[in-house]
Amino acid sequence: MFKWLGSLTDSNERELKKLSPLVQATNSLEPQFERLSDAELREKTEELKKRLTDGETLEEILPPAFAAVREAARRTLGQRHFDVQLMGGIVLHQGKSAEMKTGEGKTLVATLPLYLNALTGKGCHLVTLNDYLARRDPVWMGAIYHLLGVSVSSIVHEAAYIYDPAYSASDPRWNGLRPISRREAYSADITYGTNHEFGFDYLRDNMARDLSQTVQRPLYYAIVDEVDNILIDEARTPLIISGPSPEPTQRYYAFSRIVSRLKPQEDFQVDEKERAVTLTDLGISRVEKALKDLGELKAAGLYDAANYYLSYYLESALKAMVLFRRDKDYVVKDGQVIIVDEFTGRLMFGRRYSEGLHQAIEAKEGVKVQQETVTYATITLQNYFRMYEKLAGMTGTAVTEAEEFHKIYKLEVVVIPTHKDMVRVDHPDRVYKTEEGKFRAAAREIEELHKKGQPVLVGTTSIEKNEKLSEMLGLRGVPHQVLNAKQHEKEASIIAQAGRLAAVTVATNMAGRGVDIILGGNPDGLALGRGLDPLAQPEEYKEALASLQKQCAQEREKVVDLGGLFILGTERHEARRIDNQLRGRSGRQGDPGASRFYISLEDELVRNFGGDRVKAVMDWAGLDEDTPIEHSMVSKAIENAQIKVEAINFDIRKHLVEYDDVLNKHREVIYGERRKTLSGADLRPNILEAIREEIAAVIEASADEHGALDPEKLQAELFTFLPLPPTLSLDGNKPRKELEEELVGLAERLYQEKEEKIGGEDMRLLERLVMLGTMDKLWVEHLTLMENMRHGIGLRAYGQADPLVAYKREGHNLFQSLLSATKYDVVRTIYKAGIVRQAPQPREPVGVAAGHKTGRNDPCPCGSGKKYKKCHGK
């Protein structure tokens, strides 16, 4: 382990050394670029583009491109990229992950490689954590791009903008963001947006029935900000576009009732670590009996193939009852079950657990079970991001997850040194016997810090704990701000001021991530908070800002003297990385700061994974509730527990990808075919070929075991798809080949007749529509089949063969059936189909969140502009 780490450090040193010539080359251009006028600086963009078209590589033009961005940033923002920031920029350009601590200025770093790569004209994406940042960052960095003459856009949920410094928005914070269409936004040189928006646009583009409805260009280069959060934490839930299905919902209530009568241990067993529930034999027979009484059992045994669909309900009902807890995993609000993000503690409105779990929880809570959904399109974030030609990431905490980045995304992690030395003091953990004792001590400490005037940011792991602590602080009369499951924007404005004198901010672990905490306060935020509009009231704004800047600077001095921002963690998170994130909020850019975690033996992590050793130490020391212990042995044990959980979670995600990889191959083929069809490929030869094959197959199927043809059977079969003259009579004694030739000739003639009747152009359109309609319908069915099959396999293969192998094999079979079914359906539709012309309808921008459900009368999520029930919901 240490050896491995050692070699990692060495190779990191080597990587950093390799960057230095490029940094020096950029630096040496600086005096020359400083002398350019703004117009001359802008001309650099055209000049560099030309050098690229003349055959130079991106590496060759990196120094002048970086020098141009640095100079533009100095002129517009008054911020000159530090050398370490250039290093970060090079690493990002190379398609790696740059680990740069919080506050090192990653927003500014990204401008370097984004500009450089945008010179190719291919469109670069910056992936942000949330919509708030997707708006903030292009506005913040906009002036740099604007000076250099490259366009930058922002896509958020149901809106898209282009940066235009003269544009005055109704909310002054978003001055500069002019609304445009999504397609236009994707044509910009650089686009900021969240992983959800990028991913859903990709899926929606692949549901479009016309090329003009698609919005994205081919995926070229993406930089993922806070990459660990997006590619690791969020990567557990795939993106799904779904709509309602006609399946009954009562079954969920029935199953909920059945499992609620089961007894732990006797009927089922729980593995809390693996988050798994398994029925005992007794449990199985109880469930079977109950189902039999309800008349639901289609075969004797619960796990017989005919009953697979039931195990789906059973599994979700069991999980809902045993593993999911109200107010921790989800909350019930206004008759709805709302997921709580386990990492941020936010309420994830509109998100639903997949695979029937959400419905099962609704049944358990006795609220209305929302109708089940059909999946129209789905992809894991892993497979979405792997489609980019080049992928890069940046975050303050990547190195603990280096293995996963490498294995799943082929992303190498390079640790960039900080601009100034880090001086934050990380105190050892304080461990208490009970949770009560721990919270009492934490509240006491917060009160003391507050009295002293030192700002403190308190991190908790859940809303529940957040509220508990808030109550305790209230009782002690400590004024504080609580960040829960509120909007990102509001959280951002609160957290931005968390470094003010005596500020107490209680937040779920990652609330407001991406927002800089400046000691003494953020003057811009305070000025905007007064409702001043810098575009509408430039003078007033400037004046207020100047006085606030002075005030914040004075406050900063005091806060620095008090030791900077104090981070107080109230529980260790499952992943060390999240703890490091929390700590990293303090001590930015050489600021003083401190951190300490409060832990109790009753914490979930310690209970499940800490082992008896920790407990033994406490008992042995004979400590009471209020006396903490600080011992390296305890901290070590907790860290080991975290490493264990990290590995389990990595496994879960790896698993998800391994399964999605199977489907991904199918998706590639189908989406590829769709693309070809949409871009106007001539389908006539393919369809005629399919007709020929179908005729041969029908002939084959009409022969008896001795090879003798049954002409009547053959004729009946042919009539199902060919508009044959009713007078046709087939000679069953003709040689097979001859008969086939004759029929194929006839079919081709009929095809030609149809084409002459409706015209070549419409025939091509018809072919396309029939092909797309068929592919889409069968693809959606395929997604459901694959999902059900996976469930079935999970149950069947329990403890035996590797379920993944079985999934791959059966997946392959299902895919082959999908391909032949497509042919079959196309052949059987093409002669019958016709075109009815409708007035064109504009495409409404529609947003679909993960698990978002479309009503029958809503616009279809594919963006056709038609009602859902008239389009994909048919």
Q: Given the rule CB under 6 A, which residues bind ligand ADP?
A: 79-82, 85, 100, 102-108, 516
Give least dist CB 342 to ligand ADP, A. 23
Of 19-27, 458-466, 508-516, 528-536, the segment contacting Mg ion by CB under 5 A is 508-516
Closest C-alpha among 772, 547, 815, 812 to residue 676: 772
Give least dist CB 423 to Mg ion, A. 21
Give least dist CB 96 to ligand ADP, A. 16
Of 140 and 220, nearer to Mg ion (C-beta) is 140
Distance CA 262, CA 755 (A): 65
Of 80 and 368, nearer to ligand ADP (C-beta) is 80
Of 320-328, 410-418, 507-515, 604-612, the segment contacting Mg ion by CB under 5 A is 507-515
Binding of Mg ion at residue 512 (CB under 5 A)?
no
**301 backbone dihedrals φ, ψ, rounded to 5°:** -95, 145
- Given a contact cutoff of 8 angstroms between Cβ atoms, the answer to whether 196 and 239 are in contact is yes
**Of these partners, Mg ion, ligand ADP, none, which one is at the site of residue 70 (CB under 5 to 8 Å by kind)?**
none
- Given a contact cutoff of 8 angstroms between Cβ atoms, the answer to whether 132 and 489 are in contact is yes
- Given a contact cutoff of 8 angstroms between Cβ atoms, the answer to whether 510 and 488 are in contact is no
Closest C-alpha among 639, 737, 97 to residue 390: 97
Structure tokens belonging to residue 372: 């089940």
Of 128 and 151, nearer to ligand ADP (C-beta) is 128
Amino acid letter, residue 139 = V
Distance CA 799, CA 278 (A): 12
Of 95 and 103, nearer to ligand ADP (C-beta) is 103
Give least dist CB 88 to ligand ADP, A. 9
**Of these partners, ligand ADP, Mg ion, none, which one is at the site of residue 79 (CB under 5 to 8 Å by kind)?**
ligand ADP
Give least dist CB 198 to ligand ADP, A. 19
Give least dist CB 356 to ligand ADP, A. 39
DSSP codes of every residue in 400-453: GGHHHHHHHH-PPEEEPPPSS----EEPPPEEESSHHHHHHHHHHHHHHHHHHT
Q: Edge-to-edge strand order for the sheet containing 347-348?
A: 330-333, 336-340, 347-348
Distance CA 132, CA 129 (A): 8
Q: Report the Cα 309 to chain-centroid distance in Å.
A: 29
What number of chain residues touch Mg ion (CB under 5 A)? Answer: 2
Q: Report the Cα 588 to chain-centroid distance in Å.
A: 28
Of 136 and 358, nearer to ligand ADP (C-beta) is 136
Distance CA 572, CA 579 (A): 7
Of 108 and 568, nearer to ligand ADP (C-beta) is 108
Of 204 and 513, nearer to Mg ion (C-beta) is 513
Closest C-alpha among 52, 83, 78, 76 to residue 65: 52
Residue of minimal CB distance from ligand ADP? Answer: 105
Q: Which of residues 852-871 bind Mg ion (CB under 5 A)?
A: none
Give least dist CB 103 to ligand ADP, A. 5
Give least dist CB 465 to ligand ADP, A. 25
Q: Which residue has the tokens 């896509």?
A: 155
Of 437 and 512, nearer to ligand ADP (C-beta) is 512
Give least dist CB 135 to ligand ADP, A. 15
Binding mask 806-835 toward Mg ion (x if CB under 5 A, else -) reads ------------------------------
First-residue to last-residue Cα distance in the chain: 57
Q: Tell me the pairing of strands 221-225 and 390-395.
A: parallel
Give least dist CB 110 to Mg ion, A. 9
Give least dist CB 228 to Mg ion, A. 12
Give least dist CB 399 to ligand ADP, A. 15
Of 551 and 829, nearer to ligand ADP (C-beta) is 551
Of the candidate residues 63, 64, 455, 514, the single one contacting Mg ion (CB under 5 A): 514
Of 107 and 383, nearer to ligand ADP (C-beta) is 107
Give least dist CB 570 to ligand ADP, A. 23
Distance CA 24, CA 46 (A): 24
Binding mask 87-106 toward Mg ion (x if CB under 5 A, else -) reads -------------------x
Residue 23's contacts (CB-CB under 8 Å, 6 or more residues apart) are 83, 86, 87, 90
Of 196 and 286, nearer to Mg ion (C-beta) is 196
**Of these partners, Mg ion, ligand ADP, none, which one is at the site of residue 108 (CB under 5 to 8 Å by kind)?**
ligand ADP
Of 100 and 502, nearer to ligand ADP (C-beta) is 100
Of 85 and 497, nearer to ligand ADP (C-beta) is 85
- In a 3-state reduction of DSSP, which class is residue 832? coil
The C-alpha torsion from 611 through 466 and 517 to 575, rounded to 10°, is 20
Amino acid letter, residue 750 = L
Q: Report the Cα 870 to chain-centroid distance in Å.
A: 30
Give least dist CB 516 to Mg ion, A. 7
Give least dist CB 429 to ligand ADP, A. 25
**Of these partners, Mg ion, ligand ADP, none, which one is at the site of residue 516 (CB under 5 to 8 Å by kind)?**
ligand ADP
Of 379 and 582, nearer to Mg ion (C-beta) is 582
Dihedral of alpha carbons 570, 575, 579, 585, sign: negative
**Of these partners, Mg ion, ligand ADP, none, which one is at the site of residue 555 (CB under 5 to 8 Å by kind)?**
none
Of 454 and 522, nearer to Mg ion (C-beta) is 522
Give least dist CB 521 to ligand ADP, A. 12
Phi-psi region of 216 (alpha: psi -120 to 50; beta: other; left: phi over 0): beta
Closest C-alpha among 608, 193, 584, 569 to residue 400: 584
| Helices and strands of the chain, counted as H and E runs | 29, 23
- In a 3-state reduction of DSSP, which class is residue 35? coil
Distance CA 125, CA 55 (A): 24
Distance CA 223, CA 191 (A): 10
Residue 608 has what DSSP assignment?
A: I
- Given a contact cutoff of 8 angstroms between Cβ atoms, the answer to whether 603 and 435 are in contact is yes
Of 137 and 694, nearer to Mg ion (C-beta) is 137
Closest C-alpha among 313, 324, 318 to residue 268: 318
Binding mask 455-494 toward Mg ion (x if CB under 5 A, else -) reads ----------------------------------------
Closest C-alpha among 380, 381, 392 to residue 125: 392
Amino acid letter, residue 370 = Q
Residue 873's contacts (CB-CB under 8 Å, 6 or more residues apart) are 243, 244, 854, 856, 860, 867
- Given a contact cutoff of 8 angstroms between Cβ atoms, the answer to whether 288 and 262 are in contact is no
Give least dist CB 111 to Mg ion, A. 13
Of 77 and 254, nearer to ligand ADP (C-beta) is 77
Summarize as ranges the residues that interact with Mg ion (CB under 5 A).
106, 514
